[in-house]
Structure 1
Amino acid sequence: MLREYQEGLLLSARSFQSGLINTTYENVLENLDSGIMLFDEEGILSFINSQMYTILDMKRHALVGCTILSMLSHVQLSRAKKRRVLNIYRETIYKGKSAYEFVDEFGRYWRVSVTYGEKMNGQYLFVIKEISDYKRIEQTAYQNDNLAMLGKLSASIAHEIRNPLTSIRGFIQLLRPHLSQLGKEEYAKIILAEIDRANDIIHEFLASSKPSVPQVGIIPVSLLLREVVLLTESEALMKGCEIHLHPFAEDLNISVDVKQMKQVVINIIRNAMEAITERDDDYTGRIEIGARREGAEVRIFISDNGEGMSICTLDRLFNPFFTTKKNGTGLGLSVSDKIIRNHGGCISVSSKLNEGTSFIISLPLIQ
């Protein structure tokens, strides 16, 4: 009797301990920052944590007992989310991949990991986590590697190329009167224009390779932007664009290298002009420029109603050598980003196709 009683107590204790462990594990899974779904061997959802409900934008317990197929017809799941679930199923279960990465409609990066097979006793475990921060770090490292490579490349070849180009330009100018007599002056103009373009590319290589220390001075943002508008508004009018400079609510001072800062703003404005001219429909291009205070920073904004950019283009926008222009070098925004970072600031950009693009330059405010 005593032995049976002791065995009964031991069994009760083990059952109680097992319940505690299961509860502990469930609490851990509920509080992870990753979304988790577990399907049993029959394909029925047996567990889903709160983070996964948040990712799917659904109410608590709405999916328990569902299969993947029934999820695709669930009334609470949006069409975009259903399409995403279908893509995840196709890339992981159907194609046999253990991991799948994607970018959502808001530009956020996600990674889905799937575990199944004998080690899961026929069950399917899906884990989804946002990896936008990791992607940004990865992209920064990639940009730094490219800039280092660019510095070595440009420093070694720039002067070697410039010297013969200067000689060629001089001889073409000497031959220009003779070409004019033959009615071929247009050839000389084309050659000189292409030599000038080659020199501009070399200049951009050198500018992007030199981590020059800014020659800073304190300047009002209003004065800087007014000067930039004066320099660019005639070119904008020729391209059918209007530049609108917003009034300034207060005096905002920044400590910058004025020449470098003008280079950045003018580069972004010219990109806006090109984006506007790329649109097919007949409309008036408009470029909005202004500045405002945000805490201890000045935010300079430059927006346009041009053709806009896709998410894929935005992801690579500041990469050296990346360009969508026919005659672009892919260095303008890369150099601009480095200049702003050398001033202790940053550039952010948002864009929608056929709607336009907005750049924001954040710089420390001088009190």
Structure 2
Amino acid sequence: MISEFQDTLISANEAFPLRHLDNSNYENILEHLDSGIMLFDSEGFLTFINVQMAKLLELPRQQLLGCNVLQLVQHPYISRFKKKKILRIYRETIFHRKRYHELLDEYGKHWLITMTYGDQMDGNFLLSVKDVSDFKQIEQTAYQNDKLAMLGQISASIAHEIRNPLTAIRGFIQLLRPHLLQLGKDEYAKIILTEIDRANDIIYEFLNSSKPSAPQKTVIPIQSLLKEIVLLTESEGLMNGCEIQLNNDLTPLYVSIDIKQIKQVMLNIVKNAMDAMDPVGEDYSGIIQIATHEEQSHVIISIKDNGHGMDNNTLVRLFDPFFTTKETGTGLGLSVSYRIIKNHGGTIDVHSKLGEGTTFNISLPLV
């Protein structure tokens, strides 16, 4: 029985002979990984670096091989920003013994840093760097959707709990109104009923804002809606020292949208852009540029301003419900806009830097 099994193994090896890769083949594989790789020996000197890592450091590999961490942070051709990141990675992975570390670079990309060391590395330290920006975007989108769904549930619950007592109060005021009329106090009843109706309107607006209704779509050229947006906002813009410029694609781009909802989104972003203008002296002139172009069966609407911009902490929370940087803001405008565009099968994203202005890009499917 054993001999038959051995014969089977021998014949299998002959039919499928094992191939052994030499060291040059392994190095060739590491060279072309999409992750950046650095290998330090037990004395802390860089012995291997692949093409991707050299691109990230923006230096030829020949200038990096043989350097230690101190020499890297003192290298004259490595930017100050990258030197600070190298020191931070060294502190987190070596001193604090963290095998995984995340960082955000100067271009807004997310990177996952992995440090491998120990007995299996024979005293060497392997550092790998991988771009995880796409995964972060998916994670943030899922998180945003969860928060918006929770906001809708809370809003519906609040509306229900407040509307019931308001309805009862309104009914009793109606019953008391003839007695108030006899006392010559009918104006009191009118004021109470008016205020109750106003409270109901506020609840309805809040509920509709946190959970927009299904879009009632109409096919229109997007250019006509944007012209209307400019007409509605240009007078307010002039009062704020801001010029609104419209650069439409010459070819009519037809979309199927709920006109009221998309108008709400556009007006919200344009007014936010006006608020972002930070006048400096009499020569300052705020500019908001609205432009459209076609891209892969979608129309891209960009709204760009030259305001004071936003930092990364603000950008991360920009579409969060109730998050606002304004003293009188509710923090619902952009979260509602996000939901409306999503309900239309589109996307909305924003790019901004402090002192360089902000650009919103809205993508909607063409008819």
TM range (shorter): 0.7 to 0.9
The 1:241/1:196 distance shift into structure 2, 3 A limit, reads farther
| Structure-2 separation of matches of 1:232 and 1:119 | 65
| Structure-1 separation of matches of 2:165 and 2:290 | 42
| Structure-2 separation of matches of 1:196 and 1:289 | 35
Classify the secondary structure of the residue corresponding to 2:358: strand
Q: What residue in structure 1 maps to residue 252 of structure 2? A: 251
The 1:198/1:303 distance shift into structure 2, 3 A limit, reads farther
| Structure-1 separation of matches of 2:147 and 2:279 | 35
Q: What residue in structure 2 maps to residue 112 of structure 1? A: 113
Give aligned pairs, total: 325
Q: What residue in structure 1 maps to residue 210 of structure 2? A: 208
| Structure-1 separation of matches of 2:260 and 2:142 | 28
Render the CA deviation track for 1:170-193: whole Å, top value 9, x for unaligned.
x9xxxxxxxxxxxxxxxx9xxx8x
> How do 1:1-367 and structure 2 match up within 5 A?
20-162=21-163, 200=202, 203-210=205-212, 212-246=213-247, 248-276=249-277, 279=278, 281-282=280-281, 283-366=284-367
Query: Following TM superposition, by how much is the alpha carbon of 1:203 offset from its aligned partner in structure 2, in angstroms?
Result: 2.0
| Structure-2 separation of matches of 1:321 and 1:110 | 29
Checking the alignment, whether the CA contact within 8 Å between 1:228 and 1:265 is kept in structure 2 is: yes
Gaps in structure 2 of 5+ consecutive residues: 1-17, 174-190
The 1:41/1:118 distance shift into structure 2, 3 A limit, reads same
Q: What residue in structure 2 maps to residue 9 of structure 1? A: none
| Structure-1 separation of matches of 2:306 and 2:97 | 43
Render the CA deviation track for 1:153-201: whole Å, top value 9, x for unaligned.
1111114335667979xx9xxxxxxxxxxxxxxxx9xxx8xx9799657
Render the CA deviation track for 1:57-78: whole Å, top value 9, x for unaligned.
1113321111111112223323
Q: What residue in structure 1 maps to residue 188 of structure 2? A: none
Amino acid at match of 1:281: V
Q: Name the TM-score, length of structure 1 as normaliser.
A: 0.80
The 1:247/1:117 distance shift into structure 2, 3 A limit, reads closer
The 1:197/1:237 distance shift into structure 2, 3 A limit, reads farther
Question: CA RMSD, aligned part only?
Answer: 2.8
Checking the alignment, whether the CA contact within 8 Å between 1:297 and 1:364 is kept in structure 2 is: yes
Query: Following TM superposition, by how much is the alpha carbon of 1:102 offset from its aligned partner in structure 2, in angstroms?
Result: 0.9
Q: What residue in structure 1 maps to residue 182 of structure 2? A: none
Amino acid at match of 2:53: M
Query: Following TM superposition, by how much is the alpha carbon of 1:265 offset from its aligned partner in structure 2, in angstroms?
Result: 0.3
Checking the alignment, whether the CA contact within 8 Å between 2:155 and 2:206 is kept in structure 1 is: no
Identity of aligned residues (%): 54
Query: Following TM superposition, by how much is the alpha carbon of 1:36 offset from its aligned partner in structure 2, in angstroms?
Result: 1.1
Checking the alignment, whether the CA contact within 8 Å between 2:209 and 2:332 is kept in structure 1 is: no
Classify the secondary structure of the residue corresponding to 1:337: helix
Checking the alignment, whether the CA contact within 8 Å between 1:204 and 1:332 is kept in structure 2 is: no
| Structure-2 separation of matches of 1:341 and 1:239 | 31
Gaps in structure 1 of 5+ consecutive residues: 1-16, 172-187
| Structure-2 separation of matches of 1:131 and 1:140 | 14
Query: Following TM superposition, by how much is the alpha carbon of 1:47 offset from its aligned partner in structure 2, in angstroms?
Result: 1.4
Q: Name the TM-score, length of structure 2 as normaliser.
A: 0.80
Classify the secondary structure of the residue corresponding to 1:58: coil
Classify the secondary structure of the residue corresponding to 1:61: helix
Amino acid at match of 2:280: D
